[in-house]
Structure 1
């Protein structure tokens, strides 16, 4: 005790010697005699606490928050070292090349064409296909990469999904060997861009039996008439997969339509509130001439079309996870930096509750899509498997982005904080590749044995 008092006395003497003016100012604010009397009544433990406080090493030491990471259950550990390295390589590309420019392009509703050769250099296009220059990796990597892209921007993920999944997938699964050799290597290198034309102005969910775009066989090949709407990449694609109803046998067939085919026109759709970087087009086919060699050789009914949709629907579920993860991670980082009432808002109970709700849904989504891709790699993926994941993940994503916007208050609607874009884009992901209602009926049919479709 005596030693501690000597330290205090010595410290006060030194303080007087160094800055008497400051001591006088302190005396004007507090009763120094009362301070000394009260300090003299403290025991050793209390005095040590006072000394720590005075030295700046006490309870006010700045806390360093944990790293921001949406993979709470360490699901990345399910990947091989090579797969994990590719995931991190793509993540680094997105954070350095896409993140700095994405808000500007999203606001202008323009596409950053300069990114295409940089994306091609990653060698991930057609990631699961064998041959034709494709990497031939497991399906889980297609999902992981879709998540990584959507974690930064859902528009870039959508562009890539159309190119690598819908367009290349149609040719890979349903094309002849000649068609594969003609198109896939260039599409893999992204020197040739593809699009997928199924949805029509008046036909979305009813595409299986209600396509109004027609194909008529002629001695010279085929003549296509009709319109397609919401077609991603359509305004700059080199080849578009057009699905049309054969007027002779009433079956749906697929065609490789080039952008310079006579009778083909694509006009950019304007005024979208979501996925603004994606260049959606309204395609008009007016007596569009297509050669027989450009008809997809193995696409003879909508069941064949559905094979492609089943594969890509799993990718959309992964994309929803990425969108949710991006919103969660941005919101978490924000709450640890934003201060109100003298401390980070992450320290408040209501904010922590929102964050935990977001992480709970995100973790459930991640475990679901990992299992979904495992089933796909085992050759056991069904329509209902893909549809359930699409329903659940896109629904939960809407909740997560809403909470992310909420914890950020007014700043949540500003692009610069990187959550407003996720809030808007989640709405598009929720609807495309089959609405919640249609995908729910696919699952309902599987679990009850009754089809509720009209």
Structure 2
């Protein structure tokens, strides 16, 4: 069984006719012309290492994501809106609490890749929700907070956001965090601003990092978005991840009770532990984007006719496909090892940073080659390659920019920090 290839070729790019979006052929309807006998996208058969039960779960999830999510995501992506119906469906399937469900790290990673293959934006919503919202409350919250918030979050009935980055502090947030929290009896008063906060305009709760005015220690608070003094403004005109609703947040003396402070969030090291796994997860997004790109490019090369022959008959096109397959296989192989390291509890920040920086770089290369292969159709989001290209540009920058992650690796390699 090769579950990672199930439906990978069935809803791919347009056949060269301008009338139909490439993603609008359901997998079941296209099963008859799947690319049987050709090089599988999972060249190393990574998914074959999963137990049989997880192989079946991955195969079923892949087919559903291709039939339901992939075609339905294109319109909302183009309109820059959050499809609540898709989010509800994802919640119904248990994708709101992947980190709390039984399953190997490799299975969870491959599932995140399949989510990204269907739509990178929605995979960001699901991934950040799991890694930095549910994961933060589970790891750093009290028993009462877990009981109070996780059930709703697990179904996407409650939406949360993770508020760390600020307008003037991104890469230097560890030392520069300016949002403050002041203790006033049994309440905290939070003041400041945050920027680039995913789901910030639609969230019910915001996990807000602020510096305690009394001791200077960075702490975290659950801020309900209906509290007086809280405001969120959507960031418009984004190039990619258009389904993810990013926002500017302001906290004008927002008061929250002591019971909303996360007891395990003391100092930036607590945030860093969460960001380590989150950066590794972005590597799986890069794998998923490349799965989609290779699938779309190959289908297009076989279906599109030029000079009386399929595009795939030309040497330059075959060379492009070989390069894309190579990048994908390198990425999938690295993330397989990262999953093993996570399973053993040994993942370090330099390892996560290496995966994030390297794989998003490879994904950029893969999508650039794929966009070029589609020619003029490669600049149309209806054909999906341009949509993927734009989303990968965001992957390259968010969850720690490419440069900062590269310098984390460089510091580990030399023992010398190139930044303070």
Same fold (TM over 0.5): yes
Q: Please report the TM-score for the alignment, with normalisation by the length of structure 1.
A: 0.83
Report Cα offsets for 1:53-78 as digits up to 9, x if no partner: xxxxxxxxxxx874574211111101
Whether contact under 8 Å (1:406, 1:412) holds in the other structure is: yes
Alignment of 1:122 with 2:123, yes or no, is no
Is residue 398–residue 427 contact of structure 1 (8 Å, CA) maintained in 2? yes
Question: Which moved further from structure 2: 400-409 or 232-241?
Answer: 232-241
Which of the numbers 33, 37, 42 marks the counterpart of 1:71? 42
What is the CA–CA distance in structure 2 between the aligned matches of 1:99 and 1:407, rounded to whole Å?
21
CA distance in 2, matches of 1:274, 1:202: 22
Contact 2:99 2:131 in 1 (8 A): no
Higher mean C-alpha displacement, 157-166 vs 135-144: 135-144
State yes or no: 1:434 paired with 2:400: yes
> Partner of 1:297: helix, strand, or coil?
strand
Corresponding pairs, count: 387
Gap regions ≥5 residues in structure 2: 1-34
Q: Could you say which residue in structure 1 is the equivalent of 2:266?
A: 300
Deviations 1:179-198 (A, max 9, x none): 11111122112211111011
The C-alpha deviation readout for 1:242-278, integer Å capped at 9, x for no partner, is: 1111111111111101111121111111111111111
Partner Cα separation in structure 1 for residue 37 and residue 372 of structure 2 = 22
The alpha-carbon deviation at position 91 of structure 1 amounts to 1.4
- Written as runs of structure 1 = structure 2, the 5 A alignment for 1:296-445 is 296-445=262-411
Aligned counterpart, 2:196: 230
Give me the whole-angstrom Cα distance separating, in 1, the residues matched to 2:390 and 2:176: 30
Confirm or deny: 8 A CA contact 1:324 1:397 kept in the other structure: yes
SS in 1 for 2:84: coil
Q: Which residue of 2 aligns with 1:45?
A: none
Q: Is contact 2:99-2:130 (8 Å) kept?
A: no
Question: How far, CA to CA, are the matches of 2:136 and 2:345 in structure 1?
Answer: 18
Which structure's relative contact order is higher, taking Cα pairs within 8 Å and 6+ residues apart? 2
Q: Do the aligned partners of 2:293 and 2:370 also contact (CA within 8 Å) in 1?
A: yes
1:73 and 1:220 map into 2 onto residues whose CA distance is 57
- Counterpart residue number, 2:80: 109
Of 103-112 and 395-404, more deviation after overlay is shown by: 103-112
Is the contact made by 2:91 and 2:154 (CA closer than 8 Å) also made in structure 1? yes
Alpha-carbon deviations, 1:128-180, whole Å to 9, x = none? Answer: 32xxxxx1322223211110011111000001012111111111111111111
Q: RMSD over aligned Cα, in angstroms?
A: 1.5
Question: Is structure 2 residue 149 aligned with structure 1 residue 178?
Answer: no
Poorly superposed stretches of 4+, deviation over 3 Å: 64-69
SS at structure 1 position matched to 2:251: strand
* Alignment partners' CA distance in 1, 2:168 and 2:49: 43
TM-score by length of 2: 0.90
Deviates more, 1:104-113 or 1:90-99: 90-99
**What is the match of residue 287 of structure 1?**
253
Which protein is bigger by CA-based radius of gyration?
Answer: 1
Contact 1:143 1:314 in 2 (8 A): no
Q: Which runs of 5+ in 1 are unaligned?
A: 1-63, 130-134
Shift of 1:417: 1.3
Q: Deviations over 1:213-253 (max 9, x none)?
A: 11111114111111111111111111111111111111111
